[in-house]
């Protein structure tokens, strides 16, 4: 139940907002705040006001559900204008997370007092928006233009100590926020109004500011909101306050209705829904308590997984039966903590404590001590099956056995054990200590508590954890495989690798498919193709460019040459005439007359086959929610967040258009062993969307 109350204690009026769970500034809250403010101003006995929030946080932003509705009065700028114009001093008593409209409310107050541990941010750009209730004008007047730039355009967060040092808040302490505000009043018996909007902007180096702005915008390619947030911020020194506030509001309203903002709202709600489903899993089947975890394999992936566990405070045993590999793994871990210490991400105490949680072992028998084993050895079914035979014998009864395989059949791995109900896939992405995605792969025999344990662990590690079914490549790599197939066939037909990569980069990916292949390693792709063997279609087998590059020793960045040539010390590839010659010879052998491809054809070929494959994933029950496919590709494969995800993009383009385009390629698709998914056809015929189904 949402309430906004006014309580009078002597000459102090306390307005308390209570809108669980995060005190979002819904229309009801805005109206209640304005009404209670007017009541307090009409009460001659009240000399000073405090605005506080019930629950675990101050206002953590707007009610995002309202953003798909028409604007509703009272509008937040009007409410905050009334707060700032109050003839009685107004103190904001802050705790928890003071975000977005919550920070704008605090800025409109005359004084701000916070509890230690409070966090401050204006994260609107992450939703395709800009601050729309004075944030771009009041914040720089308190903290200066350079820091305001980092917060408004870059989305930077401030902890309470940094906020105090910057002048964002006037006091900081431990205890209840209201008590801190009362102490502040007693320490300042002649408290006066200090409207933020009336303050002068501190002088700053405009040239340095603009240089920093360019750096921030380069980190956010393709996003519209940061550019417009910067435009609004410049109004703080380019325009009178009233005009600058109006410019900010106009830009905010336009952004609210923008395609990018709608896409980012979809992502926000998809992430929230996923978190809710994951919590429900844990309630339905209580997870196993994990005191200690073992990781098998001390390569880059195994070491990264061990770091994830240690960073979450979990005791970990890193096991590798090869002494040299184990030593390299330990060196990787030591290097990570040294780097985190040098960059200030961890204190010496934190780095030491986390490093101490990882111990190394060369004997597989060490798994007898643990509650969960995560296998991260060579991607070969026979090798993994042999490891699981040993784990089945050595691990204690009740221990969970997880595999980090990227492609292999987990049912086949579980079948060699006497505990198939305890086997599950936990597909981390490299580098595991950095990448946000975790695919938890359920198999037919898995026990509900085992699934719940793996999902809960992923959440504990700070991962976006998506439960998916078992198939070749699961969700992410299965879609990646069809994109790589289509990109390779485009090159076979006459497109240049650099053109295909540019088109995908222009769409918003950080790198194109051939740049990605060079980064991952041609040898990895070659090994995967060898493993798939007869599962490849005839068209895929005939397009053997990977085999040719592998035979030529062109393994990608690691060898200095793959699809591109790499100068020593450079990670940016250059187009290589040798690859053009290899392609020309390949086409000649296969009697392919090369043709040119438009950027539109390249983009649609790469994305539409992925959309069709995603429809098959839903048809087969590999994934239950269309939005989960979006999250997998957003968090694991660099799909541009501001486009909402693969199936959001499909819905936006129109499924009828996608189906008719695929029908035009039907003969070619058949040659590749692919057909248009019935679910996709049905949705298109009925005028429905993936995200409605």
- The tokens describing 486, both together, are 């289509």
d(CA 410, CA 401): 11
d(CA 471, CA 218): 38
Cis peptide before 38 (omega within 30 of 0): no
Which entry of 28, 39, 78, 124 is annotated as an active-site residue? 124
Active site residue 210: no
- CB–CB of 40/13 below 8 Å? yes
- CB–CB of 428/599 below 8 Å? no
d(CA 405, CA 427): 6
Residue 523 parent element (H or E): helix 522-532
- The tokens describing 632, both together, are 């997998």
- CB–CB of 462/649 below 8 Å? no
3 state DSSP class of 584: helix
CB atoms within 10 A of CB 353: 13
Active site residue 421: no
State the DSSP string of 636-682.
HS---GGGT-HHHHHHHH-HHHHHHHHHHTHHHHHHTT----HHHHH
d(CA 138, CA 464): 35
**Alpha-carbon radius of gyration of the chain:** 28
158-159 and 119-121: which strand pairing?
antiparallel
Burial class (CB within 10 angstroms; exposed 0-12, middle 13-18, buried 19+) of 237: middle
d(CA 35, CA 50): 15
What strand order describes the sheet that includes 119-121? 97-99, 119-121, 158-159
CA angle 249, 251, 257 (to 5 degrees): 105
State the DSSP string of 346-413.
S-HHHHHHHHHTEEEES-GGGGGG-SEEEE---S-HHHHHHHHHHHHHHSPTT-EEEE--SSS-HHHH
The sign one gets for the Cα dihedral 103, 106, 107, 112 is: negative
574 phi/psi in degrees, rounded to 5: -115, 145
183 phi/psi in degrees, rounded to 5: -60, -40
Cis peptide before 259 (omega within 30 of 0): no
Contacts of 10 (CB under 8 A, 6+ apart): none
CB atoms within 10 A of CB 204: 16
- The tokens describing 545, both together, are 């460019």
Which entry of 104, 224, 486, 492 is annotated as an active-site residue? 104
Question: Which residues are the active-site residues?
Answer: 104, 124
């Amino acid at each position: 139940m949402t309430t906004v109350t006014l309580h009078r204690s002597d000459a102090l009026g306390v307005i308390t907002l209570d809108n669980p769970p995060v005190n979002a500034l819904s229309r009801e809250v805005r109206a209640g705040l304005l009404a209670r403010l007017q009541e307090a101003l009409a009460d001659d006995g009240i000399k000073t006001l405090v605005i506080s929030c019930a629950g675990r946080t101050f206002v953590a932003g707007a009610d995002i559900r309202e953003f798909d509705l028409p604007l509703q009065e009272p509008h937040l700028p009007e409410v905050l204008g009334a707060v700032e114009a109050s003839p009685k001093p107004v103190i904001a008593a802050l705790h928890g997370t003071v975000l977005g409209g919550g920070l704008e409310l605090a800025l409109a107050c005359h004084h701000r007092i916070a509890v230690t541990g409070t966090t401050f941010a204006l994260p609107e750009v992450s939703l395709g928006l800009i601050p729309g209730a004075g944030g771009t004008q009041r914040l720089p007047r308190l903290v200066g233009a350079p820091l305001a730039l980092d917060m408004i355009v870059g989305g930077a967060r401030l902890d309470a100590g940094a906020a105090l040092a910057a002048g964002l808040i006037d006091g900081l302490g431990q205890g209840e926020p209201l008590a801190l505000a009362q102490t502040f009043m007693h320490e300042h018996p002649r408290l006066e109004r200090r409207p933020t909007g009336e303050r002068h902007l501190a002088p700053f180096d405009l040239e340095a500011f603009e240089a920093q702005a360019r750096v921030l915008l380069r980190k956010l390619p393709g996003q519209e909101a940061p550019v417009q947030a910067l435009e609004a911020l410049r109004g703080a020194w380019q325009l009178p306050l009233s005009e600058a506030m109006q410019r900010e509001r106009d830009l905010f309203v336009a952004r609210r209705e923008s395609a990018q903002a709608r896409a980012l709202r979809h992502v926000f709600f998809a992430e929230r829904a996923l978190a809710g489903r994951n919590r429900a899993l844990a309630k339905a089947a209580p997870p196993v308590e994990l005191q200690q975890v073992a990781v098998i394999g001390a390569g880059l992936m195994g070491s990264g997984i061990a770091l994830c566990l240690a960073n979450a405070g979990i005791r970990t045993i890193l096991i590798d039966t090869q002494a040299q590999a184990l030593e390299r793994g330990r060196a990787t871990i030591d290097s990570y903590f040294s780097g985190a210490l040098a960059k200030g991400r961890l204190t010496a105490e934190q780095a030491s404590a986390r490093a101490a949680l990882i111990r190394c072992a060369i004997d597989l028998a060490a798994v007898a001590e643990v509650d969960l084993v995560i296998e991260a050895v060579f991607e070969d079914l026979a090798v993994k099956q042999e490891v699981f035979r040993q784990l089945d014998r050595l691990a204690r009864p009740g221990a969970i056995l997880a595999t980090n395989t990227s492609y292999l059949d987990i049912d086949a791995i579980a079948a060699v054990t006497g505990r198939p109900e305890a086997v599950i896939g936990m597909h981390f992405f490299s580098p595991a200590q950095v990448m946000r995605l975790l695919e938890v792969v359920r198999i037919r025999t898995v026990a509900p508590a085992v699934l719940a344990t793996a999902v809960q662990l992923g959440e504990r590690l700070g991962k976006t954890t998506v439960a998916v079914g078992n198939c070749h490549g699961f969700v992410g790599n299965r879609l990646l495989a069809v994109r790589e197939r289509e990109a390779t066939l485009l090159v076979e037909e006459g497109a240049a690798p650099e053109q295909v990569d540019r088109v995908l980069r222009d769409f918003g990916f950080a790198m194109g498919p051939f740049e990605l292949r060079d980064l991952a390693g041609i040898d990895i792709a070659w090994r995967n193709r060898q493993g798939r063997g007869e599962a490849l279609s005839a068209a895929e087998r005939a397009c053997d460019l990977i085999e040719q590059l592998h035979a030529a020793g062109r393994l990608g960045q690691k060898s200095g040459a793959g699809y591109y040539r790499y100068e020593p010390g450079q990670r940016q590839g250059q187009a290589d005439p040798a690859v053009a010659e290899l392609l020309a010879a390949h086409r000649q052998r296969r009697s392919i007359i090369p043709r040119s491809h438009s950027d539109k054809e390249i983009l649609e070929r790469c994305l539409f086959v992925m959309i069709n494959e995603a429809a098959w994933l839903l048809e087969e029950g590999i994934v239950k929610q269309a939005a989960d496919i979006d999250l997998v590709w957003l968090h694991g494969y660099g799909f541009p967040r501001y486009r909402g995800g693969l199936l959001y993009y499909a819905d936006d383009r129109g499924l009828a258009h996608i189906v008719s385009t695929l029908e035009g390629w039907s003969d070619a698709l058949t040659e590749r062993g692919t057909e248009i998914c019935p679910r996709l056809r049905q949705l298109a015929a009925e005028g429905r969307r993936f995200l409605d189904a």
